[in-house]
Structure 1
Amino acid sequence: MRIAVLGTGALGCVFAARLAGQAEVWMLGTWAEGVAAVQRDGVRVHEMDGATWQARVNAAVDPAQVPSADVALLLVKSYQTDRAAAWAAQVLAPAGFAVTLQNGLDNGPRLAAAVGAARAAVGVTFEGATLLGPGQVRHAGRGPIHIGARPEVAGRVAAFVDLLRRAGFAAEVVSGGAAEENVILSGSERRDPLHGQDSEESPQHGRDSSLESRCGAPWAADPLRVTAQQTAIAKSAIDGILWGKAVVNAAINPLTALWRVPNGELLASADRRALLAALAKEAAAVAVARGVVLPYPDPVARVEEVCRATAANHSSMLQDVERGRPTEIDSINGVIVAEGRRLGAPTPVNETVWRLVRGSG
């Protein structure tokens, strides 16, 4: 199997290095320094226990240099999805498929628009990593990987998941994977979710981190109790996992970015906890209105649990702001605001922090 890993950031390096022991792997990205380092030295991974190892990986900045791939794995920032999706369409073999494991809620339809819905799969990863330098990464946290499989690609997705397991990942196939159903915003341009304004896109030059893990109870907390009708029209399992992660990201990431604090500091005062809770409740209400069954019973408790478990961590959005890079705010809180308006679920706190983060960029 030949895998094209689209993205040369932290998670791109971790996945490429681990998969290189099981398949032919090509990394594709716009960061020339990172690509050059991988071409010269491979990827060096620093594990949590202090162990360090290196993997030889092919790398390119031009998709024309990448041989036809069986799988294109998108691991770029959400504001880079359109370019990465176009690359996926270019490098995929006729029977190949593409899967997004990115943060955010609007990557699936954008990928499907580029490669075709029948060749697009939506996944969620809870792996964590920090880029130490070009081609060097610290594997900062282990977590599950869930990939939704459409009937058209179910067999190929299962084969890829088996490859991920052999590479040391805790991966599984879950129901769903209809990319156009799993996310809201689509199109070839990044736009203001409310007013259609274009936003900037820039090359990936930094670190990715994925902090959250999920628990496994159905969503049933007052005052957002799931009705029988909502349960009947509930989205696929991957949709629940995707939104479950997004609710946590929507609460933690923008506040850490605005206040320049690690995750644990969000629990340091009553005012901070109140805003954290309001963001989580609004996002969960939108998910429920959409018919999504979240993978935990109480969004506020889940968000606070993640803050405690990752107290010293700097969210990916905080890292982006600290380095003067674009953030993924549009694909997280921006989508929640837009979908809330469509469904009649008010999101005033999410809209405020969305505008504050956008305005500070």
Structure 2
Amino acid sequence: MKLAIIGAGALGSVIGFHLAASNNVILIDLWQEHINAINTHGLCCVADDSEQIRFLPATTDPALVEPVPVALITVKAAQTSWAATVAAQILQPDGVAYTLQNGLGNAELLAHRLGAQRVGQGVTTLGATMVAPGRVRLAGRGTTTFSATPSLSTAYAIADAFRVCSLPASVSTDLVGLVWSKLIVNVGINALTAILRVPNGALATIPEASKLVRCAVEEAVTVAQAAGITIGLADPVAETLAVAQATAANRSSMLQDILRGAPTEIETINGAIVREGQRLGVPTPFNAFLCDLITALEATAPLRVS
């Protein structure tokens, strides 16, 4: 399969590294130092106690990319507009962009630029950490699920490509439930790991932290129920903790953002729960508090004590 990955951060690089084993993959990102390192020394992926280097093309200039039938969008929410512009440049006329981003609203933004018939939704529980330019870590081999729309054949082709490269993948017809299930897991993990400065596994093994996960997740589930959404989680709290345990060594994307003083995706994750709660008349005080804490961490980054 020929495809482009728009957003070569931790997640995009880990996916690109694996898919490049048996596919024609190109990485597109704005981080010049990372792109230069990949083109010069290859992309190094650390997994368990071993590491491997794989050479694949990477660029900051979408004008250099030949048209592709599939693009995977793995940028942070703040870069979705840029990713939509890049996808419009590099996709074939009937090509499809699948977003694997966190939170709500990204697919809608992409569809506004590309058209709904060219945008698919995906969710992943892969754990990925950026170690250094040109070097990433696979911190959890979670499942990636692709929506059956807008193209069932394309969804199965991508899922097959993932599985061939040892990345668990599947296809689902429940788009809304898919997105909300991932959102609820992120609500329980991302902000708390960033605030507590711990890897994902700490949330599952330390009772005091697990209690906070329950507070965040149960609020989100109440909002989903009020919205009439059926989520694909039999026990949302237990399954969120299971994801945290399965990706125990991973530093969540929000923790990585906070550690380097970068903007987070709090508004599309916990913030999305707060906004939906306000719309539906459902109180979400705990998630609102998490949003306030993360926003304060962002604002005080230059003054932080080491």
Q: TM-score, normalised by structure 1?
A: 0.76
Identify the residue that residue 3 of structure 1 maps to in structure 2.
3
Work out whether 1:356 is the aligned partner of 2:269: no
Which residue of the other structure, out of 266, 271, 277, is the alignment partner of 1:340?
Answer: 277
Q: 1:310 to 1:144 in 2, by over 3 A?
A: closer
Q: Find the aligned partners of 1:333 and 1:144 in 2 and give their Cα distance.
A: 22
Q: Find the aligned partners of 1:355 and 1:335 in 2 and give their Cα distance.
A: 13
What SS does the aligned partner of 1:104 have?
A: coil
Work out whether 1:253 is the aligned partner of 2:190: yes
The offset of 1:264, in angstroms, is 4.8
Q: 1:310 to 1:67 in 2, by over 3 A?
A: closer
Work out whether 1:161 is the aligned partner of 2:98: no
Q: Find the aligned partners of 2:153 and 2:223 in 1 and give their Cα distance.
A: 33
Work out whether 1:329 is the aligned partner of 2:272: no
- After superposition, the C-alpha distances for 1:62-109 in whole angstroms (9 at most, x for unaligned) are 111111111111111122112112111111010111001112122111
Work out whether 1:137 is the aligned partner of 2:114: no
What one-letter code is carried by the residue in structure 2 that aligns with 1:165? R
User: Does the 8 Å CA contact 2:140/2:248 hold for their aligned counterparts?
Assistant: no
User: Does the 8 Å CA contact 2:142/2:246 hold for their aligned counterparts?
Assistant: no
The offset of 1:310, in angstroms, is 4.8
The offset of 1:241, in angstroms, is 2.9
**Percent identity over the alignment?**
43
The offset of 1:291, in angstroms, is 2.3
- After superposition, the C-alpha distances for 1:19-62 in whole angstroms (9 at most, x for unaligned) are 223222111100000111112222122222x3332222111111
Across the two proteins, how many residue pairs are aligned to each other? 297
Work out whether 1:242 is the aligned partner of 2:240: no
Q: 1:169 to 1:302 in 2, by over 3 A?
A: closer
Work out whether 1:317 is the aligned partner of 2:242: no
User: Does the 8 Å CA contact 1:42/1:55 hold for their aligned counterparts?
Assistant: yes
- After superposition, the C-alpha distances for 1:223-246 in whole angstroms (9 at most, x for unaligned) are xxxxxxxxxxxxxx2322321222
Q: Which one is further off, 303-312 or 91-100?
A: 303-312
Identify the residue that residue 171 of structure 2 maps to in structure 1.
173
Identify the residue that residue 111 of structure 2 maps to in structure 1.
112
The offset of 1:304, in angstroms, is 3.9
User: Does the 8 Å CA contact 1:6/1:76 hold for their aligned counterparts?
Assistant: yes
Work out whether 1:80 is the aligned partner of 2:79: yes
User: Does the 8 Å CA contact 2:145/2:170 hold for their aligned counterparts?
Assistant: yes
- What is the CA RMSD across the aligned residues, in angstroms? 2.1
What SS does the aligned partner of 1:251 have?
A: helix
Residue segments in structure 1 that go unaligned for 5+ positions in a row: 176-236
What one-letter code is carried by the residue in structure 1 that aligns with 2:253? S
What one-letter code is carried by the residue in structure 2 that aligns with 1:161? A
- After superposition, the C-alpha distances for 1:142-200 in whole angstroms (9 at most, x for unaligned) are 121110022x422222222222222222222111xxxxxxxxxxxxxxxxxxxxxxxxx
Q: Find the aligned partners of 2:279 and 2:271 in 1 and give their Cα distance.
A: 13
Alignment of 1:225-236 (within 5 A): none
Identify the residue that residue 37 of structure 2 maps to in structure 1.
37
What one-letter code is carried by the residue in structure 2 that aligns with 1:284? V
What one-letter code is carried by the residue in structure 1 that aligns with 2:276? E
User: Does the 8 Å CA contact 1:146/1:238 hold for their aligned counterparts?
Assistant: no
Q: 1:262 to 1:37 in 2, by over 3 A?
A: closer
Q: Which one is further off, 57-66 or 344-353?
A: 344-353
The offset of 1:269, in angstroms, is 5.6
Q: 1:350 to 1:93 in 2, by over 3 A?
A: same
Structure with the higher helix share, 1 or 2: 2
Alignment of 1:84-99 (within 5 A): 84-99=83-98
